[in-house]
Structure 1
Amino acid sequence: MTPLFSSASSAAHTTALPSPWMVAPFALLLLCIALMPLFASHFWEHQYPKVAIGLGLVTAAYYLFGLHHGAAVLHSMMEYVSFMALIGSLFVISGGINIRVKGEATPFVNTVFLLIGGVLANLIGTTGASMLLIRPWIKMNKYRITKFHIVFFIFIVSNVGGALTPIGDPPLFLGFLRGVPFWWVIQHVWTTWLWAMALLLGVFFVLDKKNFARAPKEVAAKEAANETWLFRGLHNVGFLLVVLIAVFLPQSWKIGTEQFSISVTALIMVAAAVASYLTTSKPVHEANDFNFGPVKEVGYLFIGIFLTMVPALELLGSGKGITLTAPLQYYFASGSLSAFLDNAPTYLTFLAAAMGNAHLDVGNPGDVVSYLSSHASYVVAISLGAVFFGAGSYIGNGPNFMVKAIADKAKIHTPGFLGYLFCFSIPILVPILAIVGWLTIR
């Protein structure tokens, strides 16, 4: 949930649309994220901040000096600040809660753990649930953890699980801010959510059962015997509540100028994160192997993504070339872009386009309510496409990269960008989501 996250494409255009060629920096950044770790890992490890920011500055310069439309750049940076305030605060606060579980991580226990994580994501957001549970997930499976454990955690806890409430995932919260009633989502998507969760958990159980059968039983028994239930840093639950309450503060509460401002919501989130960090004992942070590396990586990469994706979003938001006529088309279209664009602006772009086809304005809450009553299936399709397919790649949703970075820090061999796509996302996730869409949205 990013409180003030809104698509640049939804703003009124005071200048000409950008040249289609200006999508190139965004495409190049995606290619770098995908290929550099494979073919130039040493260079990428040390230089990715310069590459991401450099490509972002190319787009910024084009808007400032070519289109003379600096407002688009400032708007994108305000979105970025709100995004990082939420992601960063949940990362820091969750990193101050240490959970240790007792018992053997059997396939059944692991499946129940992921189910609980998916449900929890609707209460504290996919970012909060991911940061809270990824370390216990790694520790309880440490004697047999593989790539698919990390990937399915991203599939379920970091994305698909959070599809029931506006708190769960940024796209749904955007809808809430635009006028979609809080309980409307769960009333209309719960059956589709059940299908998606059941299929993903079923596939995971089968894969984990095979993995468990190959694991040395004496090691498993020894690991289970040495573990005890432990909860430390629980005062940080209060700071999590502060962050969640801040989400619902009036969006008009801002500090700054009309051109560039920071929301009071973002400032409260940052303050809660600072207070959490200062009041959490060093042993708790050490037990979690806490460091700022993952959030720094997300920060650098996403500042480039937020800047370079502005032309793509404006071109899409213009409505040119969007001639979709059925809910299932919107499901796959919003899903395809959500896998590679951040899913929140993608959601708003397609909602604006769909409502525009009905001669309604996404910026008018009354129009949104009217559209819900006449085109509910379209909003369901766009919402689920954005949330579900955010798991399609590491850059589809903020928590994805953070989970990978924490797993890498724990010396787990995670798949690279292309490995994630071709070994897990395309052969497993996409068919499941296609079946779910065909059964429930068509």
Structure 2
Amino acid sequence: MKKLFAFCAGLLAVLNQTAVTALAAEPEAAGAAAQTPLWLCIPFAGLLICIAVLPLVKAEWWEAHQPHAVVFWSLLFLIPFAVKYGVPKAAETTLECIINDYLTFIVLLFGLFCVSGNITLSGDLAGSPRINVGLLALGTLLSSWIGTTGASMLMIRPIIKMNAWRKRRRHIVIFFIFMVSNMGGCLTPIGDPPLLMGFMRGVPFFWSLKLLPILIFNMIILLFIFYHFDMKAYRKDIAAGLKPDISKPGTEVKIRGGHNLIFIIMIVIAVILSGTLPSMPMFQDAAGNVLGIHVFGEVTLSYPAIIECVIILVSAFLSFKTTDGSIRRENHFTWGAIHEVAVLFVGIFITMQPALMILKANGAELGITEPFEMFWATGLLSSFLDNTPTYLVFLTTAGALGLSQGMVTALGTVPVKMLEAISCGAVFMGANTYIGNAPNFMVKSIADENGIRMPSFFGYLIWSFGILIPVFIVDTLVFFL
């Protein structure tokens, strides 16, 4: 425990020194990534503050003016960046972010949102503590095989519907985000993008199954906590006279739109192809660069990304064409959730670029050499930044330590325990905030649309810090020290 506290203090000190160095630097255009000044992170912080505060103080205004806030903070980053490094550099940075990061992100989310909206469960299965524990466990294990986004979009509506008779149910969605939208994705590269990036750099596909004991350990702890939360809320609902509208509890479940599972599988295949095609010779030039459509400067829309997007969009189109509209009406399907995520995250992706540049340039200087340090550094930064580049920064850092024993990757030899710590940090701690992982905000939006009053940004932090951080401390003591 003393080592953990010492590390936290050291990390804060190093980050502070990094900030001072960044503020004092006078970078040239060619060295923008290496010496990005810290003040360029202000728009990112400003946008996060808007997301956290404005829904509390000006909810109606915020709902109507989200696009304006995104444009404002994006320009507040892009204009100073263009003045400092030149318009071509600013254009290239923005296009790189939108084409190679945001485009595939939002197309994947859109496809899964559409397909899952065409699947509905009905019958006599009503939400109760035991049933909810079973559904959370099922969704968590499913996440590694169809992705955290896929499992979240597939499972959230049925869980909301089964608990529709209850008044106290926000905790169900919160634990859903903890487990299904994040932790469950740790067992395969399909589960979460950071592990896919590791697979593309030499980590064996099934290596992450080694994380199963850690996942099961966390599932037992969180499901135990959830059961007691849910039982208390369940008894209060029953005492208030609320009862599920069923005749034979727990005896019959029907699925409509089940053929859409084929389209979910198509989307999963598209994600797998996006990670495997770039390494094939037919998709590389003589220098080993991935082939694609040149856009601007060094920005290229790769052919594997195009193939991924086409498969996903075709899947979404076929899902709508082959599914009766009554299923979507039964699911209360609207475009509000995907619209909100698309608008807010384009601003997040653009304004987070300086923070990612600083992390990439200074990650190796943090002096992080122990597994528990990798777990917390990767995890805490993944809570607010894109967990994929954060994972790659610390995987690269671990590979550059010059160690001779461990997992041999394209980035160097990484000790197995350290690789486990980096992987768990990137996947698990995405649950710490609404923006820590792609499905988190989407699940929140769907829950809000269905009448569940979800916590604010800061309210969610109270839940995650109160429940998850103690669990992560236990993880550290048991697995990473």
| TM-score > 0.5 by shorter chain | yes
Aligned match of 1:7: none
1:80 CA displacement: 0.5
Aligned partner of 2:457 among 392, 409, 417: 417
SS at match of 1:260: strand
Which 10-residue stretch deviates more, 395-404 or 234-243? 234-243
The within-5 A match list for 1:399-418 is 399-418=439-458
Return closer, same or farther for 1:356/1:53 CA change in 2, 3 Å cut-off. Answer: farther
Counterpart amino acid of residue 378 in structure 2: S
The residue aligned with 1:99 is 121
1:340 aligned onto 2:377: no
Select the residue among 282, 289, 296 that pairs with 2:325.
Answer: 282
Indicate the residue corresponding to 1:3 in structure 2.
Answer: none
Deviation at 1:274, TM superposition (A): 2.0
Query: Is residue 418 of structure 2 the alignment partner of residue 381 of structure 1?
Result: no
Structure 1: how far apart are the matches of 2:326 and 2:477?
49
Judging changes above 3 Å, is the alpha-carbon distance between structure 1 residues 396 and 106 closer, same or farther for their aligned structure 2 residues? same
- Give, in whole Å, the separation in 1 of the partners of 2:382 and 2:416: 20
Provide structure 2 residue ranges, at least 5 long, that are not aligned to the other structure.
1-28, 284-289
> Do residues 51 (structure 1) and 69 (structure 2) align?
yes
Cα distance in 2 for partners of 1:309, 1:398 equals 15
CA distance in 1, matches of 2:291, 2:336: 29
Report the counterpart of residue 31 of structure 2 in structure 1. Answer: 15
The answer as to whether partners of 1:18 and 1:67 remain within 8 angstroms in 2 is no
Q: Name the structure 1 match of 2:205.
A: 182
Could you tell me which amino acid in structure 1 is paired with residue 318 of structure 2? A
For residues 283 and 90 of structure 1, the distance between their equivalents in structure 2, rounded to whole angstroms, comes to: 19
2:436 counterpart of 1:436: no
SS of equivalent residue, structure 1 residue 58:
helix
Report what 2:22 is aligned to.
none
Distance across 1 between alignment mates of 2:97 and 2:159: 34
Inter-partner Cα distance in structure 2 for 1:29 and 1:356: 34
Q: Shift of residue 276 of structure 1?
A: 1.5
| Alpha-carbon distance, 1:94 to partner | 1.0
Partner of residue 371, structure 1? 413
User: What is the CA RMSD across the aligned residues, in angstroms?
Assistant: 2.2
Per the alignment, residue 115 of structure 1 pairs with 137
Say if 1:317 and 1:353, in contact at 8 Å, map to a contact too. no
Higher RCO, 1 vs 2 (CA within 8 Å, ≥6 residues apart):
1
The answer on 1:326 being equivalent to 2:363 is no
CA distance in structure 2 between the partners assigned to 1:108 and 1:359 by the alignment: 47
Q: Is residue 2:64 matched to residue 1:41?
A: no
Q: 2:24 — aligned with what?
A: none
Quote the Cα distance in structure 2 between the aligned partners of 1:119 and 1:150.
Answer: 17
The answer to whether residue 168 in structure 2 is matched with residue 150 in structure 1 is no
**1:58-207 → structure 2 map (5 Å cutoff):** 58-68=76-86, 69=89, 70-78=91-99, 79-144=101-166, 145-187=168-210, 189-207=211-229
The separation in 1 between residues aligned to 2:385 and 2:244, in whole angstroms, is: 43
What is the distance in 2 between the residues matched to 1:101 and 1:179? 46
Cα pair 1:165 1:182 within 8 Å, conserved: yes
Which of 347, 366, 375 is matched with 1:304 structurally?
347
Residues in 1 aligned to 2:236 and 2:382: alpha-carbon distance in whole angstroms: 36
Instruction: Assess if the C-alpha contact under 8 Å between 1:393 and 1:421 holds in 2.
Output: yes
Cα deviations across residues 286-341 of structure 1 (Å, max 9, x unaligned)?
11111111111111111111111111111111125422121101111111111111
* Secondary structure of 1:261's aligned partner: strand
TM-aligned CA deviation for residue 32 of structure 1: 1.0
Q: Distance in 2 between matches of 1:90 and 1:222?
A: 30
AA paired with 1:412?
I
TM-score by length of 1: 0.90
Equivalent in the alignment of 2:25 = none
Question: Which secondary structure does the structure 2 equivalent of 1:371 belong to?
Answer: strand
Indicate which of 246, 252, 257 corresponds to 1:233. Answer: 257
User: What SS class does the counterpart of residue 100 from structure 1 fall into?
Assistant: strand
* Structure 1 residues 324 and 45, CA gap change in structure 2 (3 angstroms): same
Distance of aligned partners of 1:431 and 1:379 in 2 relative to their CA distance in 1, 3 Å threshold? same
Distance 2:30 2:177 in 1: 39
Aligned-residue offset at 1:104: 3.6
> Cα distance, 1:226 vs. partner?
8.1
* Residue pair 1:88, 1:295 contacting (<8 A) in 2 also: yes
Q: Does 1:248 align with 2:272?
A: yes
Over alpha carbons, which structure has the higher Rg?
2
Aligned AA (1:183): F
Please name the residue that 1:393 is paired with.
433
State the match for 2:232 in structure 1. 210
Equivalenced residue count is 421
8 Å CA contact retained: 1:319, 1:353: no
The answer for the alignment partner of 1:8 in structure 2 is none
> How many Å separate the matches in 1 of 2:152 and 2:394?
27
**Structure 1 residue 366: deviation in Å?**
4.7
Deviation at 1:109, TM superposition (A): 1.4
Alpha-carbon distance, 1:118 to partner = 0.3
SS at match of 2:142: helix
CA distance in 2 between partners of 1:343 and 1:401 (Å): 15
One-letter code aligned to 2:263 = F
Per the alignment, do residues 14 and 86 of structure 1 end up closer, same or farther by CA in structure 2, a change over 3 Å counting? farther
Distance 1:203 1:224, change over 3 A: farther
Q: 1:125 to 1:19 in 2, by over 3 A?
A: same
> Whole-Å Cα distance in 1 between the matches of residues 236 and 409 of structure 2?
58
Contact 2:165/2:245 (CA < 8 Å) preserved in 1? no
Letter in 1 for 2:293: G
Q: Which runs of 5+ in 1 are unaligned?
A: 1-12
Q: Deviations over 1:125-159 (max 9, x none)?
A: 11111111111111111222422111011111111
TM superposition shift of 1:101: 4.9
The corresponding residue for 2:21 is none
**Equivalent residue, structure 1, for 2:286:** none
- Find the aligned partners of 1:131 and 1:29 in 2 and give their Cα distance: 26
Deviation at 1:265, TM superposition (A): 1.2
- 2:16 maps to none
Equivalent pair of 1:103/1:224 in contact (CA under 8 Å): no
CA–CA distance in 2 between the matches of 1:140 and 1:313?
41
